[in-house]
Chain A
Amino acid sequence: MTSFPALTLLLLLPLAGTGLCLLFRRKPDLCRAVTLATTLVMLALCVWAFCQQPDAAGWYLREDYPWIERLGARFTLAMDGLSLLMVVLTTFLQVIAVLISWHQKKYPAFFYALLLLMEAGILGVFLASDLLLFYLFWEVMLIPMFFLIGIWGHGRRVYAAVKFFLFTLAGSLLMLLAIIGLYLLHGRQTGDYSFALEALRNTDCGAWEPWLYAGFMLGFLVKVPVVPLHTWLPDAHTVAPAAGSLDLAGLLLKTGVFGILRFAFPLFPASAAASLPLLAFLALVGLFYAAWCAYIQGDVKRLIAYSSVSHLGMIMLGLAAANVLALEGAILLMLCHGLTTGALFALVSMLRRRTGTRELAKLGGMWKEAPIFSCFFLFFALASLGLPGLANFSGEILVFAGTFQVRPLWGALAVVGVVFAAAYILRMVQELLWGERPPGHPWPDLTTLEVVALAPLVFFTLWLGLYPETFLAHLHLPVKILLEQAAPLVAAHGGLP
């Protein structure tokens, strides 16, 4: 480990970028350049972190400064393999988000400022190792998203923005209560009032444990989102601007799963173990229900939004199986889903910019009309469907393998879910790319900038599909530690690792 404060820098850089954007709000070009430069520097920083070696406890980087000492809260940032992958995904997708919103004309400075602010919030969530600090970032990322949807959205943007805000905030306030409860329990037992994750893990919660666990989980499950808490997501996605959808699907949803892995499971292993069947049930319901919803959608973006919920069901199933394979698969699937669904959202936004509509009924014949667009779209659609060799497949196969080890029935059901995914994806591709082209103006193909923005996504989709070990290597240790720390999780399925 080095003493270079890379993690603090990761949080300060986007904040500095936000400040610069607001300062130069009359010069959109400058703002754009500042934003791109900031995101690129951060990506470079992450690549540097990716090349570091973890210590025995799995930490790549760790920073700890005093913060609110009276409450025992500290500014503790820590990066293990799991955080590392999430952070890399965040910084990577954020560069793409800037590129695909390069020609933002409506209040560009404010737009880029919010984009950077959200990046700071999301990175904080992935890095914070102090519960109060975590909660702070957890809420910080809401505000930019609220404005991104509310100002730059299409259609019923205010409704969607408020719904998003209220849903997620309701969940997180319960989590806040649980955090305070846990903090007080720990303080009363040990006399040491602290929000540090490490310290709180050893708290004996007694009869409160199920309630505290439920508080945390509600906060996270709304964000994931798990059916029936998902209704904000299709609305938010449908109206959000391109970069907003990309961030929402690629990053915000991941914070929920991440929170479960980082906080809910290790803090309350016994309750978590008891809740695994329920989680699996919710995951499977989500998988099928959302797939069915996706199938009947007429709006491409809504279809992808529901497919996102369905994929998250698969990820949640991996968590519910709670063994090495399934957890690694679930985390890998988070990366894959971030890339492929993010790319699909970006493509749909590009489509809308050209055609003015996202209704499948009014679209068709894109293959002849815009071949480059169609190639990209087909590629990411097939990846999203789980075609072997492309990203999602590697994650899904691990989740299946892990689930079959412990609960073959769950695994079998989940595999059927993939058939459902094939159904809605193929329908979408068929109607969009090959269907009848409606009469009207020709639609221009992708611009060079758009191709440049999408190319890295293609590259990493292939990489994750063909050789996921590069990324899995970072996960072996954190997953092992997680399962060791939360022994009841393993015991819940009859002790299978």
Chain B
Amino acid sequence: MSGAELLALLPVLILALGATAILMAGAWWPRRNTLIGAGVAIALLAALTAGGCPPPVAEVGGMFSSGPYARFFTILWSLLAAMTLLLSPRYGRARRFPAGEYPALVLFAAAGMALLSSASSLVGLLVGLESFTLVLYILIAIDKTCPRGTEAGLKYLVMGIVATGLLSFGIALIYAATGTFHFAEMHQALLEGDRMRPLGLLGWALILCAAGFKVSLVPFHLWTPDVYQGAPAPITALLSTGSKGAVFAALVALMLGIGRGLEALAPLLWALAAASIILGTLCALRQDNIKRMLAYSSVAHMGYVTIGLLAGGETGRSAVIFYLVVYTLSNLGAFGVLTAFAIQGEEPQNYKDLRGLGYHHPRRGSALAFFLLSLAGIPPTAGFIAKFNIFHAALKADYLGIALLGILASLVSLYYYLRPVIVMFLARERDLCLDRGSASEHTVLGVCLLAILLLGIYPGPLFDLIALILPS
């Protein structure tokens, strides 16, 4: 590997080396807040480097691209790591998170997500995916006092291993069919005339199933509610946004040159999207626990994103990326509020725990309501523009049926997004002793809120940026 290639990987290196440094420092000076602060600084530094330091080469080792698309996601996931860490000091203190390991692991996760989003070959895909799921297994179970967390970690581990198996097998099949790992060459080799070769189709199907596990598309979603509920709230924020977003970012890059091959995959994508939207929405209706509700709602959201993939083309891809950004902000915000509400040993989880919170904590209560409205896709939040884009892309690609299904599901979804809002604001008040939250948590919530509002009212700049970075 040449020096230029190393330089192109610099942002990821900063994350990984910084994480290692924190890990080592933590062994000698276990000062949680200082180390978390250092983690935030490193993540911000990585984001700055990714934004301000143009890569000398376009691809690293034939595995990872370092183009603007990869850089965009590197920045996004670095910022996500920074925000996750900013959410954590108070929460981590109350639950005695290990001082060095925690920020180090979050940074490692961000590095893995960045690698996955920049993958330009199937090997890169596998490496990227594994490097952050391994970290997540630990992070989910990091609260050793909470039996539910340990169980969730184990569940994610078992499912993750199945997914890894499927992914490796799929990659092997495609390699057997084409003799290459590289995305661009792969697509050409997989097509036989206008049709996909059977081996390639099987390989694709396996890869999509593995991705389905990671982003919890139906029928691979079964782990989602338990893991969401069991994981500590800041980690759920990271898991529900970054890990899913990175997989989709990789899929967008993977499907870039697919051409006519998309027609062969369309029925599969269609079925995954439809099943996820229907089942996710219906299951979310029945939840009484906000984290489980958000878990099922994320299943439905991933279904919407899959519609964008299905629609394909420049419109579809840009809709997917816009959706990912908005979904990341909204979900991070929602789990951020839950983190900020958490007190010693308890997170407010059931709807009855949220009673009257809108009155006693008007700012955070309103923020949660706002994030939920964004997830529901109500103007003027960015969620509306994001959903609008997806439906727009679907209609443009002549998928009327699934667009109608999506709109119908959005309507039904209002019911479960409104329930917590109703409980917080309209239900009879109950004086609940909750934590006042800390300044760093409020900063994160403020940033998410402002970004969602801005993107909802004036999404133009982000659109332009996406058009700029989208590889074509």
Contact = CB atoms under 8 A, between A and B. Distances in A.
Interface in B409-464: 410-411, 414-415, 418, 422, 425-427, 458-460, 463-464
B56 interface: no
B414 A166 contact: yes
A184 B459 contact: no
A135 interface: yes
A173 B414 CA distance: 12
A142 B403 CA distance: 23
Contacts of B426: 150-151, 157-158, 161
B407 A151 contact: no
B380 A180 contact: no
B395 interface: yes
Contacts of A33: none
Contacts of B425: 147, 150-151
Interface bin, chain B:
20 to 34
B268 interface: no
B337 interface: no
B418 A165 contact: yes
Interface in A1-43: 25
Contacts, number: 81
Contacts of A55: none
A450 interface: no
A416 interface: no
Contacts of A25: 362
Interface of B is mostly: helix
A140 B379 contact: yes
A184 B395 contact: yes
A139 B384 contact: yes
Contact of A70 (B378, B404, B460): B460
Pick from B380, B396, B426, B459 the residue with the most CB of A within 10 Å. Answer: B426
Given A165-B414, A166-B415, A177-B403, A107 B379 contact: no
Contacts of B467: 70
Contacts of A139: 378-380, 384
Interface residues of A, number: 36
A178 to B, nearest CB: 11
A173 B378 contact: no
A180 B388 contact: yes
A170 interface: yes
A165 B458 CA distance: 25
Nearest to B459: A68
Nearest to A181: B395
A180 B395 contact: yes
Contacts of B395: 180-181, 184
A184 B400 CA distance: 12
Contact of A67 (B410, B418, B427, B458): B458
Contacts of B414: 165-166, 169
B373 interface: yes
B464 to A, nearest CB: 7
A199 interface: no
B456 to A, nearest CB: 8
Interface of A: 25, 66-71, 107, 110, 132, 135-137, 139-140, 142-143, 147, 150-151, 157-158, 161-162, 165-166, 169-170, 173-174, 176-177, 180-181, 183-184
Given A158-B422, A165-B414, A180-B403, 13 more contacts: A25-B362, A67-B460, A69-B460, A69-B463, A70-B464, A107-B359, A150-B426, A162-B415, A166-B411, A166-B414, A169-B411, A170-B411, A180-B391
Interface of B: 318, 359, 362, 373, 378-380, 384-385, 388, 391-392, 395-396, 403-404, 407, 410-411, 414-415, 418, 422, 425-427, 458-460, 463-464, 467
Q: Which 10 A-B pairs have the closest CB atoms?
A: A150-B426, A70-B463, A139-B379, A136-B379, A158-B426, A173-B407, A68-B460, A173-B411, A180-B395, A140-B380
